[in-house]
Copies of this chain bind each other. A is one copy, B any other.
């Protein structure tokens, strides 16, 4: 199949962009990307799809979500973190989270993500097998992890039970092409030393990503430093031998120079969650310093309860803007760099960069068709500038995952959107009655 008449932004090593470009896919993988003229000759017998001048980018990769929390979107805003968690989120989670909540929350979240160009997400929540089943049915791609924490969770009485859930998940999905299982230890301040060490050991045994919240707030930093005699959260984790190239550190807001050096040395991957960090007043991570050291920085929305979207176009735009203003430097987080944070860096953070994250021969055919003929894209000088600085996410027209259409001309092909809205409305009625 050859997609012609488009601009292809590859996010490959050479940052190649093909105007008058084309893309050839076969059996769910990319066969070639390049100039249309050349590819049309070489693949003249392939079925042609005319993309009418639109733009193709790699599927976006959201590296930190709690997807069912989308059902709490807008239930409580503008509150101090402690009050937000203790008076709203935790009581609601305790009362509301069950299989049904998880399933319909996951589906609603996937609808928002697919319709804004995300093809892969990395999740940390509960009942994660239910999420995996829905991701599989929707034809999305997920790196999904059961949260492990020192407390009982909605689906497990203690950390050991959560660890068993992880093991079952890892076994069940080990041969799946779309689902990867991650180990999700919640954070340095909510997991004991032993639990951190044990979960990391198990993650190594199963060769999975170790996904953890790190240094999200100043309060967390202070707490760890108090408990551990002025050792920062990063040094604390490093002293436990947790940090290596398979660690995905969400947030990573409160790192000092030594911490950054440790991240570099251990090749820790960062999920930068700019919107959530701003909205909860957590702070602004020194991402320009991470990038200068060539640390892999990907982007995540966090849960929609603290964002309040699951839209990676928003994340890319806000990240690029905030670091420029905060550092008084318009040259940091350039548009090309931020697009890579939303694509290939996300793939690297999830150890999937051989398979996804760019439009390159041999990779999975996960890509997004973006409408060019939009008021906010007019005039059209630079496709990357338009995508990062002028977009809203509503420009997404169609989405392919594994070469299959999951979203076509703004219609879902694998999810029954009306049914999801109906079930979500039932759940949200219950939530409304509790706040």
Give the interface of A toward B (CB within 8 A): 71, 73-75, 77-81, 84, 108, 111-112, 115, 218, 274-275, 277-284, 304, 307-309, 311, 314, 318, 321-322, 324-331, 334-335, 373, 375-376, 378-382, 385-386, 389-390, 392-394, 417, 421, 424-425, 427-428, 431-432, 435
Inter-chain contacts of A274 with B (CB < 8 A): 325
A328 contacts B74, C-beta separation under 8 Å: no
A281 contacts B375, C-beta separation under 8 Å: no
Cα A304 to Cα B392 with chains together (Å) = 15
A281 contacts B386, C-beta separation under 8 Å: no
Secondary structure call for the A interface: helix
Q: Which of B71, B108, B322, B431 contacts A375 (CB 8 A)?
A: B108
Query: Knowing A78-B331, A335-B77, A381-B74 touch, does A390 contact B279 (C-beta < 8 A)?
Result: no
Q: Most B CB atoms within 10 A — which of A275, A373, A431?
A: A275
Q: Which of B385, B386, B424 contacts A378 (CB 8 A)?
A: B424
Query: Knowing A329-B281, A389-B279 touch, does A311 contact B381 (C-beta < 8 A)?
Result: no
Q: Distance (Å) between the CB of A52 and the closest chain B CB?
A: 15
- Closest chain B residue, CB of each to CB of A334: B78
A375 contacts B324, C-beta separation under 8 Å: no
Q: Most B CB atoms within 10 A — which of A277, A322, A335, A393?
A: A322
Q: Most B CB atoms within 10 A — which of A283, A304, A378, A380?
A: A378
Q: Distance (Å) between the CB of A278 and the closest chain B CB?
A: 3
B389 contacts A80, C-beta separation under 8 Å: no
Query: Knowing A311-B376, A378-B108 touch, does A281 contact B385 (C-beta < 8 A)?
Result: no
Inter-chain contacts of A382 with B (CB < 8 A): 74-75, 77
Q: Distance (Å) between the CB of A349 and the closest chain B CB?
A: 22
Given contacts A283-B328, A318-B318, could you give 11 more A-B pairs where the C-beta distance is less than 8 Å? A71-B379, A75-B382, A77-B334, A78-B331, A79-B330, A218-B328, A283-B325, A284-B326, A307-B389, A309-B376, A318-B321
B78 contacts A325, C-beta separation under 8 Å: no
Query: Knowing A330-B81, A375-B115, A379-B71 touch, does A390 contact B325 (C-beta < 8 A)?
Result: no
B390 contacts A392, C-beta separation under 8 Å: no
B112 contacts A74, C-beta separation under 8 Å: no
6 CB < 8 A contacts A-B: A281-B325, A307-B389, A308-B386, A379-B425, A379-B428, A381-B431
A424 contacts B284, C-beta separation under 8 Å: no
